[in-house]
Structure 1
Amino acid sequence: MTIRYGMAQWQHPAWVNWLYPGSLSSAERIGCYSTFFSSVEVGSTFYTNVEPAQLLRWFDAVVEDFQFCFKAPQMVTHRLDGRPWVDIQQDWLSFMASLQPLQAKLGPTMLQFPSVSDEQKLDMIFALCDMWALSSPLSVEVRHLAYFDKGDIETRFLAGLAERGVNRVVMDSRPVFSTEAYCDSLVDAQNKKPRVPCHPVATAKHPVVRFIGHPDLLRNEIWLDQWAKKLSQWLQEGLLPFVFVHSSDNIAAPTLAAQLDHKVRCLCPNYQPALILPKSQVQESLW
């Protein structure tokens, strides 16, 4: 029974002198982060071409059991209309080649498609999945509402992923849209995060969850309870989930992840805790 928890980043100013000492340089923090969390979303590969030497430095800095979840380049996922297909394929192959030396520490690589990629792009999405040549898992996140219709389109999408052994990324942004945006972090989150239905369906062995928490921590309880039940079910089915916890400003994201793991532990007596953080004043007030 294993759940891999991670954040959307491995350093944050608010985590200094809590998750890592202030004396550590920014380059050293990923190593300390990896002693608490077993995975991380790496969004930098979506925006830019990260040099192989930098990828290897990250690889060497983390503990042996750590697994990175890199996001595919936007030139692959966000330019399906504006670029020749052969160029998209070449960029995808090049990205896979850059990850080849890291396979021992790779979790599900993420193909994240924008809300403009509707069902007409499904064959292209499947074609990219069919090109995946690494031994590590692959996952797909879609944001167009057609893929959440609980009808023919979603059925075809889920069946296609399952046939290929590709994991669905389940986005849960319900918490940040549960209130009006009364602070800057909520305004930013509601502007940037997709507002899509949460359909927690696993299509392969490593389902990926992206939970976007509300800054009022107690408000997240209802959704954390739901996810604890679903994760417990997946564990009983022999699945190995990846859970990436965000919050609107990410300050309290580690605390939310620890709360979720505690809830799973309460439901599964044989489950060993996957996430034990240094105690903080906020955490102690919530347990």
Structure 2
Amino acid sequence: MSIYYGMAQWQHPAWVNWLYPASLPAAERIGRYSQVFSTVEVGSTFYTRVDDTQLLRWYDSVAGDFRFSFKAPQTVSHRLIERPWRDIQQDWFAFMLSLQPLQNKLGPTMLQFPAICDERALETILALCDMWTLSTPLSVEVRNLAYFDKTYTERQFLSALSERNVNRVVMDSRPVFSTQAYCDSLIDAQKKKPRVPCHPVATAKHPVVRFIGHPDLPLNEIWLDQWAAKLSQWLFEGLTPSVFVHSSDNIAAPTLAAILDDKVRALTPSYQKSLVLPQSQEQTNLW
């Protein structure tokens, strides 16, 4: 039984002198991060093509059981409607080619589609899934509300992913929308994060969860309890989830992940807790 816990980044100014010492060069922080967490979202591949040398440098910096979850280029996902299909295919194959040397340390790669991609894009989304050539998992995140209708479109979507052994990314942004935006980080999060229903359905063996926590940590308790129960269920079903924990400013995201793991352990006696954060007086005071 294992859960891969990670953040949306591997370094943050607030994590200095907690997850890694201030003296550690920035280029080496991924190695220290990987001693605490077992996976990470890599968003840089969404925005630009990352040099192969840099990808291999990251690969060599982490242990063999660590897993990278790279985001597919926006030229493939977010410009799906406007670009010629031939160009999209070319970029998709080039991206897969760049990941081939990293397969031993790949978690679910993420195809993340914007709200503009409605049910009419489903055929194209599935065509991209059918082109996936790597032996590692693929996951799909959709943000158009048609895919959350609990009727024909969502059932068709879930069934098609299951047939292809592709994981649905479950976005849980409920916490950051649970109160008014009373601070800068909440204002920013409520502008940028998708407000979609949370449907925790696993369509393959490696379900992906993206949890966006509230900066007032106790307010997250109700949703962390729900996720602990769902993760425990998935573990008993033989699934291997990846859980990426964010918060509105990401400062306390590691703390939220550790709290969630404690809750899973309490519900699942056979589960061996693996996420242990370094002690820090500043972080203790956050809770």
Normalised to the residue count of structure 1, the TM-score between the two structures is 0.98
Aligned to 1:137: 137
Give 1:285 shift.
5.6
Structure 2 unmatched runs, 5+:
none
Aligned to 2:120: 120
Report % sequence identity. 76
Structure 1 distance, partners of 2:275, 2:118, is 37
Deviations, residues 166-214 of structure 1 (Å, cap 9, x unaligned)? 0000000000000000000000000000000000000000000000000
Aligned to 1:216: 216
**Which SS does the other structure have where 2:117 is aligned?**
coil
Contact 1:176/1:213 (8 A) holds in 2: yes
**Which SS does the other structure have where 1:10 is aligned?**
coil
Counting matched residue pairs gives 287
Instruction: Indicate the RMSD between aligned Cα atoms, in angstroms.
Output: 1.0
**Which SS does the other structure have where 1:139 is aligned?**
strand
Normalised to the residue count of structure 2, the TM-score between the two structures is 0.98
Structure 1 distance, partners of 2:145, 2:57, is 39
Give 1:282 shift.
5.7
Give 1:226 shift.
0.2
Structure 1 distance, partners of 2:122, 2:93, is 19
Give 1:280 shift.
2.6
Contact 1:210/1:243 (8 A) holds in 2: yes
Structure 2 distance, partners of 1:122, 1:2, is 31
Structure 1 distance, partners of 2:88, 2:226, is 38
Structure 2 distance, partners of 1:15, 1:282, is 10
Map 1:16-31 → 2, pairs under 5 A: 16-31=16-31
Structure 1 residue 13 corresponds to structure 2 residue 19: no
Structure 1 unmatched runs, 5+:
none
For 1:180, give the aligned amino acid: Q
Structure 2 distance, partners of 1:222, 1:92, is 39
Aligned to 2:62: 62
Contact 1:208/1:241 (8 A) holds in 2: yes
Q: Describe the shift of the 1:255–1:282 C-alpha distance in structure 2 as closer, same or farther (beyond 3 A).
A: farther
Structure 2 distance, partners of 1:29, 1:283, is 19
Q: Describe the shift of the 1:275–1:135 C-alpha distance in structure 2 as closer, same or farther (beyond 3 A).
A: same
Give 1:279 shift.
1.9
Aligned to 1:245: 245
